[in-house]
A and B are shown apart, each in its own frame.
Chain A
Amino acid sequence: QSALTQPASVSGSPGQSITISCTGTSSDVGGYDFVSWYQQHPGKAPKLMIYDVSNRPSGVSNRFSGSKSGNTASLTISGLQAEDEADYYCGSFTSSTTLKFGGGTKLTVL
């Protein structure tokens, strides 16, 4: 099972917006609206930021938003802040009744 495809790194300046893509197939991202996004700071456990493509759990800033088109899901962070610097992972339910993660994207706030 190969991982979902994410860019290795993205960067942006404070106040700007960035988008991280997550590309899969019709057997995972494209086939179900069960895509989630996680934020992980160094040495910490992952934190859920988005579930079911575009829903935010309670307590997550509305600066984080998700969307999907075809086999590609996207996470957008608007009004970048220094604390957003972290690794981000997408995850998707698959037709094999498993969960597949992306390879992760390192976000650098310049």
Chain B
Amino acid sequence: EVQLLESGGGLVQPGGSLRLSCAASGFTFSSYAMSWVRQAPGKGLEWVSGFSGSGGSTYYADSVKGRFTISRDSSKNTLFLQMNSLRAEDTAIYYCAKVLIAGTTFRGFDPWGQGTLVTVSS
């Protein structure tokens, strides 16, 4: 069974940094693209960043480009999101998600983790 478990969320002051982790199991981690998607309280989904499968390419939403960095450690089956220069509008539940089809990056996310809450406030 595929499982994704996020961690690392919490309360951080504006301008601060946080590193999220997503521990994956149940599939060949290095063969599948992964993404981070966030959801502000009471709001809709917003794609944040993606990491391709074997190619190692990274992609970012304009809203986080230059502030967030996605990476992965295939030896530990873990996806990361380093978040710097955090703003109040970054407050959200952050989900990691696996792409459905190996060799693709954006064609459907399945499954999703349970999410980790990031709150940016002074």
Asked if A62 lies at the interface with its beta carbon under 8 angstroms from chain B, I say no
- A58 CB → nearest B CB, Å: 10
CB pair B112 A103 closer than 8 Å: no
B62 to chain A: which residues have CB within 8 Å? Answer: 1
Would A99 and B35 be within 8 Å (CB), given that A45-B113, A47-B112, A48-B108 are in contact? Answer: yes
Nearest-neighbor residue (CB-CB) of B112 within chain A? A45
- B102 CB → nearest A CB, Å: 13
Q: Give the number of chain B interface residues (Cβ < 8 Å).
A: 25
A-B contact count (CB 8 A): 68
B61 to chain A: which residues have CB within 8 Å? Answer: 1, 98
Asked if A24 lies at the interface with its beta carbon under 8 angstroms from chain B, I say no
Nearest-neighbor residue (CB-CB) of A100 within chain B? B47
A98 to chain B: which residues have CB within 8 Å? Answer: 47, 50, 59-61
Asked if A30 lies at the interface with its beta carbon under 8 angstroms from chain B, I say no
Q: How far is the CA of A12 from the CA of B23 in the complex (A)?
A: 39
Q: How far is the CA of A36 from the CA of B108 in the complex (A)?
A: 6
B100 to chain A: which residues have CB within 8 Å? Answer: 48, 51, 57
Asked if B67 lies at the interface with its beta carbon under 8 angstroms from chain A, I say no
CB pair B47 A51 closer than 8 Å: no
A-B contact pairs, 28 of them (CB 8 A): A1-B62, A34-B106, A36-B107, A38-B109, A40-B45, A45-B95, A46-B37, A46-B109, A46-B112, A47-B110, A47-B111, A48-B108, A48-B109, A48-B110, A51-B101, A51-B107, A51-B108, A57-B100, A57-B108, A91-B45, A93-B106, A93-B107, A97-B59, A98-B47, A98-B60, A99-B47, A100-B47, A101-B46
Please give the residue numbers on chain A whose beta carbons come within 8 Å of chain B beta carbons, in ascending order. Answer: 1, 3, 34, 36, 38, 40, 45-48, 51-52, 57, 89, 91, 93, 97-104
Please give the residue numbers on chain B whose beta carbons come within 8 Å of chain A beta carbons, in ascending order. Answer: 35, 37, 44-47, 50, 59-63, 95, 100-101, 106-115
